[in-house]
């Protein structure tokens, strides 16, 4: 019973980490694998097939998130420096947004994390492009692409993380 509670808490923490641009999906995979390895045969169990499915979903989420961000900035000619600073800005923005939140009851921190991650990507990309010598109009265009790419990537990765959480918790409970 304690193992199941720890599994559920870890899965929820992994889901939250995903919103903050941290490797939460991989935390969920690791928690499920540990539970599969340590769980006694006489109680709830997660199969290795379930762990493999979670690993596949986590990999798919990473590919989609990376592709959404990269295609967004590359589509308008963004630089590697702009992409790197967009990723850093996104992480900083997600954490700040989660802490600050937005005034929406119950989900304000989640919305804040997503919104500020996208704004961080926009700001980071613009800073990187300005540093590279681009003018403000070009930097703004690349920053917008980073914003929308980050939004699509984050929403898709969060949807996959939600599915992973349901799968892991359902497998652990039943």
Chain segment 119-167, per-residue pLDDT in tens: 999 999 999 999 999 999 999 999 999 999 999 999 999 999 999 999 9
Based on C-alpha coordinates, what's the Rg of the chain?
A: 18
Residue pair 104/156 in contact by the 8 Å Cβ criterion: no
Distance in angstroms (rounded) separating the CA atoms of residues 61 and 26? 10
Distance in angstroms (rounded) separating the CA atoms of residues 119 and 114? 9
Assign 3-state DSSP to the chain and report helix, strand, coil percentages, each to 5: 85, 0, 15
pLDDT above 70 (res 42): no
- Model's pTM, two decimal places? 0.82
Chain segment 59-76, per-residue pLDDT in tens: 999 999 888 877 777 778
What pLDDT, on the 0 to 100 scale, is given for residue 69? 75
Mean pLDDT of 26-44: 86
What pLDDT, on the 0 to 100 scale, is given for residue 43? 65
**Three-state SS for 128?**
helix
Give the list of residues 6+ apart from residue 98 with CB closer than 8 angstroms, or none: 19, 20, 109, 110, 112, 113, 116
Residue pair 168/7 in contact by the 8 Å Cβ criterion: yes
Higher pLDDT: 168 or 45? It is 168
Mean pLDDT of 104-125: 90
Distance in angstroms (rounded) separating the CA atoms of residues 124 and 117? 10
Its domain, for residue 137, covers 2-173
Give the list of residues 6+ apart from residue 170 with CB closer than 8 angstroms, or none: none
The total domain count for the chain is 1
State percent of the chain over pLDDT 90: 65
Distance in angstroms (rounded) separating the CA atoms of residues 20 and 84? 17
């Amino acid at each position: 019973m304690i193992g199941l509670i720890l599994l559920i808490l870890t899965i929820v923490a992994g889901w939250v980490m995903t919103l903050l641009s941290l490797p939460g999906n991989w935390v969920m995979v690791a928690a499920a694998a540990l539970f599969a390895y340590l769980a006694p045969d006489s109680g709830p169990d997660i199969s290795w097939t379930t762990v493999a499915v979670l690993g596949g979903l986590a990999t798919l989420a990473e590919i989609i998130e990376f592709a959404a961000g990269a295609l967004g900035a590359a589509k308008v000619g963004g630089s590697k420096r702009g992409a790197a600073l967009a990723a850093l800005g996104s992480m900083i923005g997600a954490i700040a947004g989660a802490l600050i939140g937005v005034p929406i009851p119950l989900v304000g921190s989640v919305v804040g994390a997503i919104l500020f991650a996208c704004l961080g990507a926009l700001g980071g990309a613009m800073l990187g492009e300005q540093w590279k010598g681009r003018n403000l109009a070009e930097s703004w265009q690349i920053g917008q692409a980073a914003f929308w790419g980050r939004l699509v990537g984050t929403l898709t990765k969060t949807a996959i993380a939600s599915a992973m959480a349901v799968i892991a918790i359902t497998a652990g409970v039943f």
